[in-house]
Chains A and B, each alone.
Chain A
Amino acid sequence: MNAQRWTMAVGLAVAAAVVMKTAPALAHHSSAPFYDATKKVEAQGPVTKFLFKNPHSFLYFQAPDDKGTPVEWQIELGPAASLTRTGWTPETLKAGTIIKASGQPSRAEGSHGMCCARITRADGSPIVAGGRVTEEQQPPR
């Protein structure tokens, strides 16, 4: 792959990685009533469903809660219309893929949701090959 193509691939993947952290704030609604920006939660487990839709895409995966009980987690992502432009497709994350996620936890008692998440493969590498994982950014308010 020549240098120009490599640069473009990295650029697209970086954009995809950034979208995975900031896209939920893209204005269908504010994240503040739903997720607590002052806290952080981490979990790891296999993907169970990837809902690639508008107004928001959702990634579901199974991981233990703080008591060790397996629960289904829900990560809120940006709209499919935005994710598509960074190269994501409904097939990007297949069921069974192990992911690691950290992000803002949902506020509702008993819920297991996350937004503004940093999502990687189990070994810490980006979801999209060639991408670069960066620190979380506080979504715009």
Chain B
Amino acid sequence: MRKIGIIGVAALIAFAGARGFLTAYAQAPAASAQIPNLAGIWDGGGRVRPVNSETVPWGKDNFPVLNERALAYQKVFDEAIAPKYDCQPATPPAIEYDPYSMEVVQMPDRVVFNYEKDDQVRTVWLDGRQPTVHDMSIQGFSVGRYENGALIVDTDHYFFDITGFDDYNGIPSSPLKKVHERYWREGQELKVTVTVEDEMFLRKPASYTTRWLPQRPGYKLDKWDCDPEASRAPVKMMPSKYK
């Protein structure tokens, strides 16, 4: 009897532990109508969607409407001074579309996005906490909730970033940048709609929708570990307006 009791308690503890950390990597469609299964490693590379460029994901149908400040920044911007050549990482709305892999880890109080590109980590808090001025960062501060089978993520508290909207077109972003993301599953696909507003540079919000597919089984995110010499090496191949 005592043995049965011990086994039962052990089983209960094991079950509670498993339920306490929802890090499922099955990438199967949602088990719950409200909480989609987003967990796993996702491929955002060239086999899944067109590679980003000056016209992707911002094309003629959704290119942001820039105000005079943004246009003025574009005039003085030069690719050679883009901070990415000094290993500055990408941020939303660019990092979601970079053609590399992404890992999503779902836990009861947060969802963690690990990006292969630039080794970036974004934590989306589900516990209702709100940022303070001390929570400004290059990736901002993200809060989220599940709603109608999707994960809704709202991020603000970003640093000023000379190419923080789009580094192909030299569009900056300010601490007024707010990024709204909606993640959901459609069969094997993980999809997102990313909407950005930034009163300092955009006349109205701009948006794109894209997808990922599951990475092959056993795939592990590569370490990016940006090398400063390799990062800056292309710049000398480009004519620049600045000496």
Contacts and interface: CB of A to CB of B under 8 A. Distances in A.
A111 interface: yes
Given A29-B84, A29-B167, A35 B237 contact: yes
B237 A29 contact: no
Interface stretch (A2-10, A40-48, A51-59, A118-126): A51-59
B230 A27 contact: no
A54 B236 CA distance: 17
Contacts of B233: 51, 56, 58, 74, 76
Interface stretch (A63-71, A87-95, A102-110, A127-135): A102-110
B42 to A, nearest CB: 15
Interface in A13-54: 25-30, 33-35, 51, 53-54
Contacts of B237: 34-35, 74, 76, 106-108, 111, 113
B225 interface: yes
Contact of A27 (B53, B227, B236): B53
Given A54-B224, A56-B234, A29 B79 contact: yes
A33 B51 contact: no
Q: In which size bucket is the chain A interface?
A: 20 to 34
- Please indicate which of the listed interface residues B53, B224, B229 has the most CB atoms of chain A within 10 Å of its own CB: B53
A30 B168 contact: yes
Contacts, number: 89
A25 B231 CA distance: 14
A131 B181 CA distance: 43
B205 interface: no
B226 interface: yes
A55 B226 contact: yes
A57 B229 CA distance: 10
B210 interface: no
B234 A107 contact: no
B54 A140 contact: no
B68 interface: no
A55 B230 contact: yes
B230 A28 contact: no
A29 B226 CA distance: 14
B98 interface: yes
B51 A140 contact: yes
Contacts of A55: 84, 87, 224, 226-227, 230-231
Contacts of A53: 225, 227, 229-230
Interface in B97-128: 98-100, 116
A138 interface: no
A40 to B, nearest CB: 16
B230 A51 contact: yes
B217 to A, nearest CB: 15
Nearest to A105: B237
Nearest to B100: A81
26 contacts: A26-B51, A27-B51, A27-B52, A33-B238, A34-B238, A51-B227, A53-B230, A54-B224, A54-B227, A55-B87, A55-B231, A56-B231, A56-B234, A57-B230, A58-B230, A76-B233, A76-B237, A81-B116, A84-B222, A106-B237, A106-B238, A107-B237, A108-B236, A111-B237, A140-B46, A141-B55
Interface of B: 46, 50-55, 79, 82, 84, 87, 98-100, 116, 167-168, 222-227, 229-231, 233-234, 236-240
Closest 9 CB pairs of A and B: A106-B237, A53-B230, A113-B237, A53-B227, A81-B222, A34-B238, A34-B237, A27-B52, A140-B51
